[in-house]
Structure 1
Amino acid sequence: MIIDTHLHLIDLERHSYPWLADVPALNRDYSYELYEREARRVGIGAALHMEVDVAEAEIEAETETVRRISRFPQSLVLGAISACRPESEAFPAFLDRQRANPVVKGFRRVLHVMPDDLSESARFRDNIRRLGGTGLPFDLCVLPHQIPRAIALCDLAPDVQFVLDHCGVPAVKDRETHPWAAHVTEIAKRPNVVVKISGVVAYAEPATWTVADLRPYVEHAIGAFGWDRVVWGSDWPVVTLGGTLSTWVAATHALVAGCSVEEKDKLLAGNARRVWRLPAMS
């Protein structure tokens, strides 16, 4: 079974997504029903919803939407990785509310589209430290040149579990490894960080990419972190910029074809259960 740790759902009638105006290919509804149909066919048995950078005033409303979907009969959705604003003075009260909400499994603040120094403010760092001991991981969505800033954040909050999204966003299309590879190796030295094998299809050449194009990036990330600190995500529907959910699942299986059953299980489900404290599933 696969646990998808990076599902996005887009509902334009319920929520506002300011960034979608600049991404017309994604600026439409992507419903749970559409995802579920394909996900079940490719062996996905559970999923965590990843926040979709809704307008700030709608963050908690998005979580409520996820809660509603999680209560569908036999829903794949186990919980929400909520958006947050650690730079805000209102964060402590927000965190208290989310800790009382069982659907919330973690947090993310999108950083790759924000000023590089956002995570360096004293308030941001102090608020991230508040996650220590909560069991709620923080996803890091950063560009390769921002990884050193993410490392600093991980070092300042050693009791917080961090998740590096999308293999650290390598430039797959351009076949670049610098500075990405060295930075991934460095952040992997931090025991409080795991890496998410996700997103790479969207960074590849849409019409021509092959498994061989993805392999150097996926294998470097897994090699740097080791099998106990890797999780898998679909990044649906962003994955559709470079293929389909089915294509990415097939590519994943090809990438790990020579690995042991135990290693595959850690990547595809076992580690996710541990990191987000998810129930065991058959």
Structure 2
Amino acid sequence: MNTPLLIDAHHHLWDLSQRAQPWLDDPAVASIRRTFTPEDLRSTATHPVAGRRLHGTVVVQCIADVPETEDLLALAEREPLIQAVVGWTDLTSPAVGDVLDKLLAGPGGRYLRSLRHLVQGETDPDWLQRPDVERGLGAARDRGLRYDVLVRAHQLDQAVRLAERFPDLPQVLDHAGKPDIARQDFAEWERRIRRLAAHPHVVCKASGLITEADHTRWTNADLRPVWDVLVSAFGPERLMFGSDWPVANLAGGWNRWAATVDELVTGWSDSDVHALLAGTATAFYGLASAAGASDTTTRTTT
């Protein structure tokens, strides 16, 4: 019997000796203002989820910088833990296609599976609908790439419009659209999430939830309402586990999040557990098969 696999579909890495991360200047994140390497993740991520231990990961860009993406791709080429990269390029640039072609042909280019932009920091309420952005998204789609959607709860209408306008671009919502768990204010978030989930080519990362809660006082009960909405709206077959490590260290860390998910999936079927923990990410990002799940589970497709 093969060992069931666990894929972390969302984490970050940075080396401050090689590249600055200006967002780390915020005093609120001082505790993670240091270099984080794959070995740090490997030694940290030790708690199993539903009996599964970390097998592979998807590393995600942090800053609007093509050289960072190039470095992550080169790292994926030599680091077996990393199975895919979510990178960045300027979607508004007329040269976006040329940049993508260069990334795909460069060292580790085969690991580039998706793009992401920090739309959460854009003040334009229609940023994802700008003509130059849509041209860039079309260039990504035409090269077989996916798109990671990073928006806050109040920006989810942009994500809905993106889903409507690009039905042939596979999309994943990062961090469940950042619901306000700290204040337990979910009504508008839930309404928008259900509209987004109505589009079958959109999946969702169950990630980043603990940092939307009170960092020091959150409990599993605080997360349960959000979790239940996600499972109801998307179903396990369109959800994927992500840690958002090392940002997760601000609110408990990789192992505490893993233990929380372990509790949240209690009573799930083997096939639903496999979808959340490996199958959805494998299908969406085109990873090396995670169907090294047990003999009784099959790979979930989206």
Shift of 1:79: 2.3
Relative to structure 1, the CA distance from residue 152 to residue 69 in structure 2 (aligned partners, 3 Å threshold; closer, same or farther) is closer
Q: Which has the higher mean CA deviation after the structures are superposed, 117-126 or 6-15? A: 117-126
Question: In the alignment, what sits opposite 2:86?
Answer: 81
Shift of 1:18: 1.9
Shift of 1:62: 3.7
CA distance in structure 2 between the partners assigned to 1:134 and 1:231 by the alignment? 23
2:61 to 51, 57, 67: 51
CA distance in structure 1 between the partners assigned to 2:182 and 2:54 by the alignment? 27
CA contact 2:44–2:255 (8 Å) conserved in 1: yes
Q: Deviations over 1:75-131 (max 9, x none)?
A: 311121102221222212112223332121211111101123322210101221223
Where 2:181 maps in the other structure, the secondary structure is coil
Q: Deviations over 1:188-232 (max 9, x none)?
A: 011110010000011111222111110110120121011221111
2:163 to 147, 154, 157: 154
Where 1:132 maps in the other structure, the secondary structure is helix
Which ranges of structure 2 fall in alignment gaps of 5 or more residues?
293-302
RMSD: 1.6
Matched letter for residue 281 of structure 2:
A
CA distance in structure 1 between the partners assigned to 2:85 and 2:150 by the alignment? 16
Q: How does 1:121-200 map to 2 (within 5 A)?
A: 121-200=130-209
Give TM-score, length-normalised by structure 2.
0.87
Shift of 1:238: 0.9
2:286 to 262, 277, 280: 277
Question: In the alignment, what sits opposite 2:265?
Answer: 256
Where 2:266 maps in the other structure, the secondary structure is coil
Q: How does 1:238-253 map to 2 (within 5 A)?
A: 238-253=247-262
CA contact 1:67–1:103 (8 Å) conserved in 2: no
CA distance in structure 2 between the partners assigned to 1:97 and 1:179 by the alignment? 41
Q: Deviations over 1:132-177 (max 9, x none)?
A: 3533210001011111011111211111000001111000010010
Where 2:121 maps in the other structure, the secondary structure is coil
Matched letter for residue 75 of structure 2:
R
2:104 to 91, 99, 104: 99
Where 1:176 maps in the other structure, the secondary structure is coil
Relative to structure 1, the CA distance from residue 247 to residue 41 in structure 2 (aligned partners, 3 Å threshold; closer, same or farther) is closer
Give TM-score, length-normalised by structure 1.
0.93
Where 1:179 maps in the other structure, the secondary structure is helix
Q: How does 1:57-72 map to 2 (within 5 A)?
A: 59-72=66-79
Shift of 1:63: 3.0
1:17 to 9, 15, 21: 21
Question: In the alignment, what sits opposite 2:298?
Answer: none
**Number of residues paired by the alignment?**
277
Relative to structure 1, the CA distance from residue 40 to residue 134 in structure 2 (aligned partners, 3 Å threshold; closer, same or farther) is farther
> Does residue 34 of the first structure (1) align with residue 40 of the second (2)?
yes
Matched letter for residue 277 of structure 1:
G
Question: In the alignment, what sits opposite 2:245?
Answer: 236
Matched letter for residue 52 of structure 1:
C
Question: In the alignment, what sits opposite 2:227?
Answer: 218
Shift of 1:41: 5.0
Matched letter for residue 50 of structure 1:
V
Relative to structure 1, the CA distance from residue 125 to residue 117 in structure 2 (aligned partners, 3 Å threshold; closer, same or farther) is same
Which ranges of structure 1 fall in alignment gaps of 5 or more residues?
none
